[in-house]
Amino acid sequence: MFRKLCVLTLLGSPFFARAQDTATLGEVIISESRMQIPFNKNVRNIQIITKEEIARLSVRSINEVLSFIAGVDLRQRGPFGSQADVSIDGGSFEQTLLLLNGIKISDPQTAHHSLNIPIPLDAIERIEVLKGPAARVYGINALTGAINIVTKTPQSNGLDVNVYAGSSFKNKEAGDGTGIYGGGGAQLTGTIAKENHNHLFTLSKDYYNGQRYNSKSDNNRLFYQGRYQLHEKHQLDVTAGYTHNQFGANGFYASPIDKESYEVVETSVFSISSSHQITDKFRLRARISDRYNEDDYRFYRDDLSRSRSLHYNNVLAGELHAGLQTGIGDFGIGVETRYESIQSSNIGDRKRNNQGFYAEYKTEAIKNLLLNVGTYVNYNSQYGWQAFPGVDVGYSITNRLKLGANIGTSQRIPSFTDLYLNQGSANIGNANLVSENAFSYEFNVKYHTNDVQLQAGYFNRNISDFIDWIRETTGNPYQPFNLGDFKMQGWNVQIAQRINFGHQHLFRYRLSYNFLSPNEMQLPAGYNSKYQIESLKHQFLLNTNVQLGAWNVSLNNRYIKREINKGYYLMDIRASYQYKAFNIYTDLTNVLDQEYVETAAVPMPGRWATVGVRYHFGK
């Protein structure tokens, strides 16, 4: 896309890429700060998972992929890609910004819908995670970080067909039909690559009859992106996508009384952008985008005359960015505007607008030292003016050893749900909320050779006017309040290694551990929190992979421990075989058949087996 809001680092990769992949990534020019920064000079705490690594995971949705990225907490309400909340380094699910090829797609109604993304896994080039304060980069609502999903750029004409089916082989519960729980899906991904234009189009469908009572899901996605080279210095990009998801919402929001609830969500996204290299040193980039979402929540799926919530929201945005290279350093400036509106049966008709202005400066005038400083100034029609300055500093002790540090501020503006929701005895909003503001700093050290990667880091974050949903006693509605300061600190360590032991024979592993330590949030006497017990405390990931010629076997392990709730351990296995244009694979997830809950009152699937085949037409 015209603006590569890439957030890459090989050191944070969930696996270690192949040698040729490493060389390619090393040449990538990243611009997570909208500045042209070479991949190997980035100093932020950044994670990436590539298409090759995704292909080795026992996953079928973006939601599931995110659970294998260090520091990312993925909490699924509905499995198989139906609905999930995502957060970074102990933040709330509302404090993480979602992007698709740099297009902001976070939902202003509620972040429960931010992961309604219209692309299948086969269309993804990589998923990038920028951890820490990101307001200086992206503006509001990137309080704890941002996740950018980057799609493939077609290099040749081709068509990929991927079909799969799976089951728990457990009989359905009483009242939920007959037979066993299971389902499957199909993904169609086509590419056209010509001299002056290329195109990517996808069509995908996933259908599951559930994993327990009223958990059926039917998810459909369409996506297109096109790039047109108008001139060697002028480029046009078009993006369009649509999702239609419907699923049983048993236990999503009001367990145990919502056993018969059902939800239908439709989301569309459209963007047109252009890039112009005015001179060798000066460039301009512009974009207009629109995201529209419909949410139909039916408390009684068989009776639409009562307890039905309908929400229609739209976000129209425009951006203009400029970059200038000079003898004393690189400068970047830009402006963004965003108009949000909603029409809702229990939120009302609301609208607000937002304007952001940023400026950045990068220099390497001092040997081995990279300095990146900037600020984002924001005006919101509800919350007025605010500024978010930040500084990144990196120092290369040797070619293999690097130290990094950053300090910055960020903000999260309350969602329409936070402010205005009215669900009677269940949940009510609070129009008097003020925005959350954070001050954060972090340090990291990175070491790498051709085959070994090491990284360790520490961060400290203080959120003022922290928002949490609380209630006085069971039976009273939850309501959000600004509860004061919420402090979080954490550290992480990870190691990745690749070992060659013969022609096309490889062993890879990656081990990471994240520890988070929040202060104890003091609630008013007699109140309890809706989300605090779900805050991540320990995250342990061990991913191993063996490649033996055409065979590839991966064993992926996760241990997750949240505040208050007991920890759980998950083991997944994927085995695949490549025969000419065919890739045949099988997955066994939750091998030990663990019982666990990621969020709300939704038990996740037990042991589940899947088989699939992917065929590539073309070169």
Q: Is the pLDDT of residue 201 over 90?
A: yes
Q: Is the pLDDT of residue 38 over 70?
A: no
Q: What is the pLDDT of residue 137?
A: 84
CB atoms within 10 A of CB 244: 18
Residues 83, 137, 223, 581, CA torsion sign: negative
**pLDDT (average), residues 241-253:** 95
Q: Is the pLDDT of residue 609 over 90?
A: yes
How far, in Å, CA of 97 to CA of 94, rounded?
Answer: 8
Given pLDDT bands bounded at 50, 70 and 90, which one contains residue 37? low
> Of 95, 139, 134, 107, which Cα lies nearest the Cα of 386?
139
CB atoms within 10 A of CB 582: 11
Q: What angle do CA 153, 105, 361 make, to 5 degrees?
A: 75
Cα–Cα distances (Å) from 286 to 239, 273, 360, 415, 528, in that order, read 14, 6, 17, 27, 46
Q: What is the pLDDT of residue 47?
A: 85
pLDDT-wise least confident of 6-10, 56-60, 245-249: 6-10
Q: Is the pLDDT of residue 43 over 80?
A: no
How far, in Å, CA of 430 to CA of 420, rounded?
Answer: 6
pLDDT tens digits, residue range 480-512?
999 999 999 999 999 999 999 888 899 999 999
pLDDT tens digits, residue range 333-358?
999 999 999 999 999 999 999 999 99
Given pLDDT bands bounded at 50, 70 and 90, which one contains residue 599? confident
Q: What is the pLDDT of residue 533?
A: 59
Give counts: helices (H), strands (E), the chain. Answer: 5, 34
H or E element at residue 386: strand 384-396
Average pLDDT, the chain: 90
Given pLDDT bands bounded at 50, 70 and 90, which one contains residue 108? very high
Q: Is the pLDDT of residue 397 over 90?
A: yes
Q: Is the pLDDT of residue 86 over 60?
A: yes
Domain boundaries, the chain: 10-618
Q: Strands 452-464 and 436-448: what pairing? A: antiparallel
Most confident segment among 41-50, 170-179, 560-569 = 170-179
3-state secondary structure of 496: strand
Q: What is the pLDDT of residue 559?
A: 98
Q: What is the pLDDT of residue 4?
A: 35
Q: What is the pLDDT of residue 2?
A: 31
pLDDT tens digits, residue range 437-468?
999 999 999 999 989 999 999 999 999 999 99
- Six token digits for residue 236: 């046009």
Buried b (16+ CB within 10 A) or exposed e, 537-551: bebbbebbbbbeeee
CATH superfamily name and code, 10-618: TonB-dependent receptor, beta-barrel domain (2.40.170.20)
pLDDT tens digits, residue range 311-326?
999 999 999 999 999 9
Model confidence, pTM: 0.92
Q: What is the pLDDT of residue 84?
A: 92
Q: What is the pLDDT of residue 41?
A: 61
Q: Is the pLDDT of residue 5 over 60?
A: no
Q: Enumerate residues 6+ apart whose C-beta is below 8 A from 78.
A: 84, 215, 217, 247, 248, 249, 252, 602
pLDDT tens digits, residue range 152-179?
999 999 999 999 999 999 999 999 999 9
Q: What is the pLDDT of residue 476?
A: 83
Q: What is the pLDDT of residue 327?
A: 92
Q: Is the pLDDT of residue 415 over 70?
A: yes
Q: What is the pLDDT of residue 372?
A: 92
Given pLDDT bands bounded at 50, 70 and 90, which one contains residue 473? confident
Strand partners, 410: 438
pLDDT tens digits, residue range 504-535?
899 999 999 999 999 877 777 778 887 765 78
> Of 16, 2, 4, 5, which Cα lies nearest the Cα of 494?
16
